[in-house]
Structure 1
Amino acid sequence: MPLKKPKPVVEYRNYYLPSSFPVLLLTGSNWTISDIRSENLHFHNCLEIGICHSHDGTLEFYNGLSIPFSAGDITCIPRNIPHTTYSSPSVKSRWSYLFFDQRQLFRDILPPDFSFNMIHDDIHKYLIPNGASSRIPLLAQASIEELSAEKPDHQLIKSYLFALYMEIIRFQDKYAVNYNVENTPPWQNPPISGISSLSITPALDFIEDNYMNKFPVDKLSELCHMSPTHFRRSFQAVMHTSPLNYLNTIRIMNACNLLRNTNHTILNISVMTGFSTLSNFNRHFNEMMKVSPKEYRKQTLQGRKPGEVPSIIEYSGWMEPD
């Protein structure tokens, strides 16, 4: 009997995106992707825009679905979509990555009922081939250059990223409307049903958007169309923690953001992040961060460099190439 192929390990990589300007750029000569395929898939808590500067390779998703990429291509992968990237044999493709939370960044621009799920329904929309759009590469490069400036203009960057995001949506909508099997270019494969998102993705999305509210855990199982028992087992298998612990982790991470970047009182922050009482907030914060909220804020104000303040290691982001 042939051995059953093991399921890939899925890593959650969370980035601290300041609430005042939820954007992160990873770029430079060290951002090269190995030709060795990683056995681990990963997903993020925010939108990932990747710009391939050189060489080619493969972008692989959950359930083994994959898309080839080459120099000049741009990827746009929504939050909570497991994937990995590896270069073709004997080369190392070079990339720049933009991570941002479009819900927070554009909340004063887009209407409250705007659907941010427009780019979730087909993995082939996650790659924009070189030459398929004239505006998207220019806007992506302009965002990178301004973010890399000695004194970046945040308002200008926000304008670039908003235009980039809307151009990506326009490109994907055009693909959906104009899809034609006979006239489809080689880089446009037919949409695949049952895309490679995790079965618990609806729960992760709901938690990200509603962590500040009170809701029963069974609400999450309903969103994933599972029984409560099956949902808890599936969640534990993927996230290596329980749904409630994960919810509290998201709440604490957002509390850290508010402690670092606002003047809100600790009591107000506890309410804003969904904790029922201040004592409950303090207890969970101490358990995760190993310091009190007051001490965490004090250490931040003392000017510690990134990485020197306490962090939630098991939910850290990807700050170096694999």
Structure 2
Amino acid sequence: MHKRPHSGRDARYQPLHAPITLPEDFPFRPTYHVQKDEPITTLHRHDGIELGYCFSGSGVFVVEDKVMPFSAGCATVINERELHLAQSTPGTESSWAFLYVDPARLIGACDEPLLLSTTELCGREFANVLAPDAHPTICALLRELADESREPGEGHRSVVRGLVLSLMARLHRLPGRRSGDTSSRAPSLQRLAPALAYIGSHYAEELGIPTLARVCAMSGTHFRRSFGAALGQTPKEYLTRFRVQKAASLLRDPRHSVLEASLSAGFQSLSAFNRHFRAIMGVSPREWRRPAA
């Protein structure tokens, strides 16, 4: 059952704890999910690591203060520390495998037991969404794990254990693991989660400090100060980054023009969109969409 904290804030945007029950004898649970394009208003976290593989579709993952586009073939890694939500590109849906596992209990004795820890796989600089061109081995392992779980073969449990161990070893090679402020800023992020969820649902609208502060039950001054301290950026900077990443996911679909993507993401002018897109993504919108052409 999802547990929602009690408060006087708007209940629609409060963060959830969504516990995952794993079998005692084999702590691994595969799920398969079609993500619709309806806005998800609530950030949530689980009590264990979530490994994802995107079979089809595109959209964005919001993991606390990070906004990352995904597309078919991407893998996701989200541990028990980080609040998150996913949104498919408007007008589409995406198909996923989400795999929940307790690596230490699943594998047991290991020459390098620290590789089975999940607590380090997070942080401000940790990339939770892994693209297949940059991380082909991790994405291929997750796809194999998802396929094996859907159609178990002979020696299924041994195959799953081997794939999970290989995945964990490679995940521990990724840069940006567990920035030092992860635990200290967790309470602040919990209080700001309603604002992040609200942005996720209303990013294309005009959003100001009073609205965002209200869903967090804070004064405007306190909200602005808390946001900057916890996320290292202003609310306006976060909103701009969110809009750019939403546009980036739209541009992967050749049916959307650059102008359509910019307007759908909430930009009022094409020149502003091009400027912000290049500053955040490092390339122009047309250059970004070129690999998908």
TM-score (norm 1): 0.49
Counterparts in 2 of 1:97 and 1:113: CA distance versus 1, 3 Å: closer
Secondary structure, aligned partner of 1:105: helix
Aligned counterparts of 1:22 and 1:89: Cα–Cα separation in 2? 35
- The equivalent residue for 2:127 is 125
Aligned counterparts of 1:48 and 1:84: Cα–Cα separation in 2? 12
1:10 and 2:15 matched? yes
Shift of 1:48: 0.5
Aligned counterparts of 2:105 and 2:161: Cα–Cα separation in 1? 11
- The equivalent residue for 1:199 is 187
Aligned counterparts of 1:118 and 1:50: Cα–Cα separation in 2? 18
Alignment of 1:277-288 (within 5 A): none
Unpaired runs of 5+ residues, structure 2, are: 1-8, 190-293
Determine which of 15, 22, 26 is the counterpart of 1:21: 26
Q: For the pair shown, which has the larger CA radius of gyration, 1 or 2?
A: 1
Code of the aligned partner of 2:186: L
Q: CA-to-partner distance for each residue in 1:280-305, whole Å, 9 max, x for gaps?
A: xxxxxxxxxxxxxxxxxxxxxxxxxx
Shift of 1:17: 0.7
Alignment of 1:305-320 (within 5 A): none
Shift of 1:136: 1.3
Aligned counterparts of 2:44 and 2:66: Cα–Cα separation in 1? 14
Aligned counterparts of 2:94 and 2:171: Cα–Cα separation in 1? 23
Aligned counterparts of 1:87 and 1:195: Cα–Cα separation in 2? 27
- The equivalent residue for 2:291 is none
Aligned counterparts of 1:126 and 1:46: Cα–Cα separation in 2? 15
Aligned counterparts of 2:121 and 2:82: Cα–Cα separation in 1? 11
Counterparts in 2 of 1:103 and 1:6: CA distance versus 1, 3 Å: same
Q: CA-to-partner distance for each residue in 1:135-176, whole Å, 9 max, x for gaps?
A: 112211221222223556201110011111212222x13xx4
- The equivalent residue for 1:134 is 136
Would you say the 8 A contact 1:25–1:97 is kept in 2?
yes
- The equivalent residue for 1:61 is 63
Aligned counterparts of 2:152 and 2:63: Cα–Cα separation in 1? 36
Aligned counterparts of 2:78 and 2:23: Cα–Cα separation in 1? 20
Identity within the alignment, % = 21
Code of the aligned partner of 2:107: F
Shift of 1:91: 0.6
Aligned counterparts of 1:44 and 1:83: Cα–Cα separation in 2? 9
Number of matched residues? Answer: 177
Aligned counterparts of 1:192 and 1:119: Cα–Cα separation in 2? 9
Counterparts in 2 of 1:91 and 1:73: CA distance versus 1, 3 Å: same
Aligned counterparts of 2:114 and 2:73: Cα–Cα separation in 1? 34
Determine which of 144, 147, 161 is the counterpart of 1:158: 161
Code of the aligned partner of 1:15: I
Counterparts in 2 of 1:88 and 1:169: CA distance versus 1, 3 Å: same
Secondary structure, aligned partner of 1:162: helix
Aligned counterparts of 1:113 and 1:165: Cα–Cα separation in 2? 10
- The equivalent residue for 1:84 is 85
Secondary structure, aligned partner of 1:164: helix
Secondary structure, aligned partner of 1:35: coil
Unpaired runs of 5+ residues, structure 1, are: 178-190, 202-322
- The equivalent residue for 2:54 is 52
Shift of 1:103: 2.6
Aligned counterparts of 1:6 and 1:117: Cα–Cα separation in 2? 30
Q: CA RMSD in A?
A: 3.0
Alignment of 1:1-322 (within 5 A): 8-27=13-32, 31-62=33-64, 64-111=65-112, 116-122=118-124, 124-150=126-152, 153-170=156-173, 172-173=174-175, 176=176, 198-199=186-187
Aligned counterparts of 2:20 and 2:171: Cα–Cα separation in 1? 22
TM-score (norm 2): 0.53
Secondary structure, aligned partner of 1:199: helix
Counterparts in 2 of 1:6 and 1:124: CA distance versus 1, 3 Å: farther
Code of the aligned partner of 1:84: L
Secondary structure, aligned partner of 1:40: coil
Aligned counterparts of 1:194 and 1:88: Cα–Cα separation in 2? 32
Code of the aligned partner of 2:58: D
Aligned counterparts of 2:141 and 2:38: Cα–Cα separation in 1? 31
Counterparts in 2 of 1:33 and 1:121: CA distance versus 1, 3 Å: same
Counterparts in 2 of 1:116 and 1:48: CA distance versus 1, 3 Å: closer
